[in-house]
Chains A and B, each alone.
Chain A
Amino acid sequence: MNELILELRGVSKSFPGIKALDRVDFKIRSGEVHALIGENGAGKSTLVKILTGIYQPDEGEIVLNGKRVEFKNPIVSQEAGIAAIHQEATMFPMLSVVENIYMGHHLKNRFGFVNWKQMRKNTKYLLSRLGLDINPNILVKDLSTAQRHMVEIVKALSLNANIIIMDEPTSAFSMRETEELYKIIRQLREEGKAIIFISHKFEDIYEIADYFTVLRDGRYVGEGVVSETPQDKIINMMVGRSLTQMFPKIDVEIGDVVMEVRNLSLNGLFEDISFELHRGEILGFFGLIGAGRSEVMESIFGIVKPERGSISLGGEEIVINSPDDAIKRGIGYVPEDRQTEGTILSMNIRENVTLPIIDKLSGRGILNRIKENEITNKYGKRMEIKASSWEQLVNNLSGGNQQKVVLAKWLATEPRILILDEPTKGIDVATKSRVHEFISELAAQGLGIILVSSEIPEILGMSDNIVVMHEGRITARFKREEASSEDLLKAAMGTSLERAI
């Protein structure tokens, strides 16, 4: 137990313009959960891709069980017992669970044909071994994110992997699902497997990891035993400085009601949602994944029509039929999934920023490029988007910068109300802090802000008032000073604390 099975020595990897990894050392022992920590762009994903044979290192060596090896392609790495559960979707949505597990290494019968019966049997066995209740014949597109993740773990087991890499597994999980994952990870650790665990969440790291290695800007910074290292120290290693002010909330005088929502309901998704939003207020919406928060926001923004209830802006009851309506009324919406909903990756920064206001920038149907550039410059600079020029494709920006583009885009519409859905999900600590500062500044300028977040510290640190949802209903409301993490969680998990108003 706990002997060294894999070691990277002085591994480097460069891409045009950047050194993604610079002489990195990394050791993994069996029966260990090893957290790989670092901000976005620290080189974690590159390291994973080298371990899985997708990239080849420029220099340095990989030593497996004492022998030098080369992972020329993903198959070699797989055969060496390494399996990765990547951050990007690496599943086949239109194929069954069975086939997702066996794609690339289908079992064959003695005639050389695919042995569906055996594959189904093995899949059932592996699923039951992990205590998972998933039908092996169901298409993966019909599974929840967490279930998909579990299927990926089963896939790793089907490959007899000894080293399993999990890249931000819990980012889209509910609490219960995270618990289930922890249980499975513990079971795998008992069996002597090594798990490389990449996460942005300290809760995860302290809950499940034994050991950690920190990378920063492609370099190895340090390692240690998790239980002996305080969070501050790890943060310090990650950013190279301590973040004194994580939540730069400015005290703002709360003004008049800008939006009032009454009994908004949509069959099966949410019921009787009522709240008020004031000028200068940050209203936090907390809940677990699937609580219906995003759906409420989508219906306020006119993407889906609510069945009942009313929305009033500045005292006047209105009907919002489309996002275009919402924008004209001064509502901005930054969706959760910036890759698919927030930006158009194949367009450049300027085109993204001016997209919602393109009407305003066009005189007689012709787009005014000078005005367009002015606006992009104004909001791009204000958001501190890091790019070689405003003509750079959004696709080539880091996650944090993409999020800044989304924010710049909505600021350009000069909204009175801004809805932010998980604005800091999956972005690095420094950018996160910057985004928080902006949110705070916007509120100070008199915007009403709805902040949907699943991170308790973010909600507690940023909100003036907090609404908690559970299964489509509001279960509690808190003022900033009354709220505690325990109460938030209780309400999010279904204990109703809603007092009569």
Chain B
Amino acid sequence: MKALLKRREFSLFIFILFTVFVISLRAPRFLEWSNLYDILNDTAILIMVAIGQFMVITSGNGGIDLSVASGIALTGMIVGMLNQYHPEIPIGVIILIAMFVGLILGSFNGILVAYAGIPPIITTLGTMSIYRGFVFVLSKGEWVSADEMSNSFRHLPHGTPFGVTNIILFAIIVVVLAYIFTTRTKTGREIYGIGGNRTAAQYVGINIRKISFMVYAISGVIVGLAGLLWVSRYASAQNDTAMGFELQTVAACVIGGVAIMGGSGTVPGVVLGAIFLGIINNALPVVNLSPFYQMAIQGFVIIFAIVANTVVGRKTQASLARKAKV
């Protein structure tokens, strides 16, 4: 219990409950289950992609993947057009193709960062433009609209064969796998190793290049899946799909307590960070705020959440340190 209270995830969880409570004072229907369920559906993609982002950031050395939104748009356009011209391809195969496309995009980042030694922010800023550019090249500026998609394609995110929508199911699978990977596998723990202290990681014989390549590849696979879910959920593949989404994923990580310098962070933290953002995105229209203010307010809330979280974290630490001395 004591250990739980110390955890940063716990303070964030309380903060989320508090935020929800405040919002519900102004808009009681916010608390209705159907609304909360909608929020989860809206946030599922953010949760997934933020988890990929979390692994990249945690691997350290300036790790960041700014190409995730462009990757979503590109995979989305590829599978959208594939479905448009070959509606006979089963959705299961489409899922695999999407993940494979994502893997290629992520691996390209990984090669540039891990093997060519180009700083992650430069690499992924570059591929952010490249991948976005390919969307235009491929689509020639056209959209793939709902009536050009097959039913099975459009229904993929909304189907509920396992009790929850598939999109939430996918998010749960990604979260569970990532949690096991980052807490219970040697390779997963080595991400923290190279992010926490590269020299030390080298000295204990960790293959730094392999691990840093891998995190970008994993982020890519998740991006591929997210690209498919995004265009099928909104039933349109556009050139500006997911524009600006990469910053949301970074924000979710930071709110969730992921150290931007690497080496520290948890899957539950990231999930909570993403859910917090989802709540804010959903709540601002509900409380009747002018849409003109929404973006700015969203920014303020993010900064406030991060500051609050950091201060609480520091205070807990200070009090622990004091106790340790006595």
Q: What is the 8 Å Cβ interface bit string for chain B, positions 128-152, against chain A (1 contact, 0 not)?
A: 0000000000000000000000000
A-chain residues with CB within 8 Å of residue B52 when the two chains form the complex: none
Would you call B189 an interface residue if the criterion is a C-beta within 8 Å of the partner chain's C-beta atoms?
A: yes
User: Chain A: which residue is nearest B324 at the CB level?
Assistant: A142
Question: Which of the 9-residue segments A82-90, A254-262, A403-411 touches chain B?
Answer: A82-90
Do B206 and A103 touch (CB < 8 A)?
yes
Contact of B202 among A74, A95, A108 (CB under 8 A): A74
A-chain residues with CB within 8 Å of residue B199 when the two chains form the complex: 88-90
Would you call B259 an interface residue if the criterion is a C-beta within 8 Å of the partner chain's C-beta atoms?
A: yes
The docked-state distance in angstroms from the alpha carbon of A74 to that of B199 is 12
B-chain residues with CB within 8 Å of residue A75 when the two chains form the complex: 205
Do A99 and B189 touch (CB < 8 A)?
yes
Chain A proximity of B314: nearest CB distance (Å): 13
Q: What is the 8 Å Cβ interface bit string for chain A, positions 319-348, against chain B (1 contact, 0 not)?
A: 000000000000000000000000000000
The docked-state distance in angstroms from the alpha carbon of A92 to that of B262 is 11
B-chain residues with CB within 8 Å of residue A112 when the two chains form the complex: 185
Do B202 and A103 touch (CB < 8 A)?
no
Do B185 and A103 touch (CB < 8 A)?
no
Do B259 and A94 touch (CB < 8 A)?
yes
The docked-state distance in angstroms from the alpha carbon of A47 to that of B65 is 39
Chain B proximity of A28: nearest CB distance (Å): 20
Do A114 and B197 touch (CB < 8 A)?
no
Would you call B156 an interface residue if the criterion is a C-beta within 8 Å of the partner chain's C-beta atoms?
A: no
B-chain residues with CB within 8 Å of residue A142 when the two chains form the complex: 320-321, 324
The B interface is mostly helix, strand or loop, or mixed, namely helix
B-chain residues with CB within 8 Å of residue A92 when the two chains form the complex: 192-193, 196-197, 200-201, 263
Chain B proximity of A145: nearest CB distance (Å): 15
User: Chain A: which residue is nearest B265 at the CB level?
Assistant: A94
The docked-state distance in angstroms from the alpha carbon of A78 to that of B201 is 13
Q: What is the 8 Å Cβ interface bit string for chain B, positions 201-213, against chain A (1 contact, 0 not)?
A: 1111110000000
The docked-state distance in angstroms from the alpha carbon of A93 to that of B184 is 20
The docked-state distance in angstroms from the alpha carbon of A75 to that of B202 is 10
A-chain residues with CB within 8 Å of residue B180 when the two chains form the complex: 113
A-chain residues with CB within 8 Å of residue B259 when the two chains form the complex: 94
The docked-state distance in angstroms from the alpha carbon of A75 to that of B208 is 13
Q: What is the 8 Å Cβ interface bit string for chain A, positions 82-125, against chain B (1 contact, 0 not)?
A: 00101011111111000100011110100011101000000000
Do B324 and A104 touch (CB < 8 A)?
no
Do B184 and A103 touch (CB < 8 A)?
no
Do B183 and A104 touch (CB < 8 A)?
no
Q: What is the 8 Å Cβ interface bit string for chain B, positions 283-326, against chain A (1 contact, 0 not)?
A: 00000000000000000000000000000000000001100110
Given contacts A104-B206, A114-B183, A142-B320, whether A90 and B189 have CB atoms under 8 Å apart is no
The docked-state distance in angstroms from the alpha carbon of A84 to that of B201 is 13
A-chain residues with CB within 8 Å of residue B321 when the two chains form the complex: 142
Do B200 and A94 touch (CB < 8 A)?
no
User: Chain B: which residue is nearest A111 at the CB level?
Assistant: B184
User: Which residues 360-410 in A have Cβ within 8 Å of B in the complex?
Assistant: none
Given contacts A92-B192, A103-B189, A142-B324, whether A84 and B200 have CB atoms under 8 Å apart is no
Would you call A73 an interface residue if the criterion is a C-beta within 8 Å of the partner chain's C-beta atoms?
A: yes
Contact of B201 among A86, A93, A103, A116 (CB under 8 A): A103
B-chain residues with CB within 8 Å of residue A440 when the two chains form the complex: none
Would you call B190 an interface residue if the criterion is a C-beta within 8 Å of the partner chain's C-beta atoms?
A: yes
Residue from A54, A95, A104, A142 having most chain B Cβ neighbours under 10 A? A104
Do B203 and A94 touch (CB < 8 A)?
no
Would you call B232 an interface residue if the criterion is a C-beta within 8 Å of the partner chain's C-beta atoms?
A: no
Would you call A52 an interface residue if the criterion is a C-beta within 8 Å of the partner chain's C-beta atoms?
A: yes
Chain A proximity of B199: nearest CB distance (Å): 6
B-chain residues with CB within 8 Å of residue A78 when the two chains form the complex: 204-205
Would you call B239 an interface residue if the criterion is a C-beta within 8 Å of the partner chain's C-beta atoms?
A: no
Do B186 and A106 touch (CB < 8 A)?
yes
Do B184 and A95 touch (CB < 8 A)?
no
A-chain residues with CB within 8 Å of residue B325 when the two chains form the complex: 268
Would you call B83 an interface residue if the criterion is a C-beta within 8 Å of the partner chain's C-beta atoms?
A: no
Would you call B166 an interface residue if the criterion is a C-beta within 8 Å of the partner chain's C-beta atoms?
A: no
A-chain residues with CB within 8 Å of residue B206 when the two chains form the complex: 103-104
Contact of A113 among B185, B192, B205, B264 (CB under 8 A): B185
Do A103 and B264 touch (CB < 8 A)?
no
Contact of B203 among A74, A93, A99 (CB under 8 A): A74
A-chain residues with CB within 8 Å of residue B263 when the two chains form the complex: 92-95
Contact of B193 among A84, A103, A116 (CB under 8 A): A103
The docked-state distance in angstroms from the alpha carbon of A450 to that of B183 is 50
Chain A proximity of B28: nearest CB distance (Å): 42
B-chain residues with CB within 8 Å of residue A91 when the two chains form the complex: 197, 200
Contact of A94 among B185, B192, B324 (CB under 8 A): B192
15 new A-B contacts, CB < 8 A, other than A93-B196, A114-B189, are: A54-B202, A54-B203, A78-B204, A89-B199, A89-B200, A90-B197, A91-B197, A92-B200, A93-B263, A95-B192, A103-B190, A105-B205, A112-B185, A114-B184, A116-B184
Give the interface of B toward A (CB within 8 A): 180, 183-186, 189-190, 192-193, 196-197, 199-206, 259, 263-264, 320-321, 324-325
- 19 A-B pairs within 8 Å (CB atoms) are namely A52-B203, A74-B203, A74-B205, A78-B204, A78-B205, A89-B199, A90-B200, A92-B196, A93-B196, A94-B259, A99-B189, A99-B192, A103-B204, A103-B206, A104-B190, A104-B205, A104-B206, A106-B186, A113-B185
Give the interface of A toward B (CB within 8 A): 52, 54, 73-75, 78, 84, 86, 88-95, 99, 103-106, 108, 112-114, 116, 142, 268
10 closest residue pairs by CB, A with B: A104-B204, A75-B205, A92-B196, A90-B200, A94-B264, A113-B184, A106-B186, A74-B205, A94-B263, A103-B193
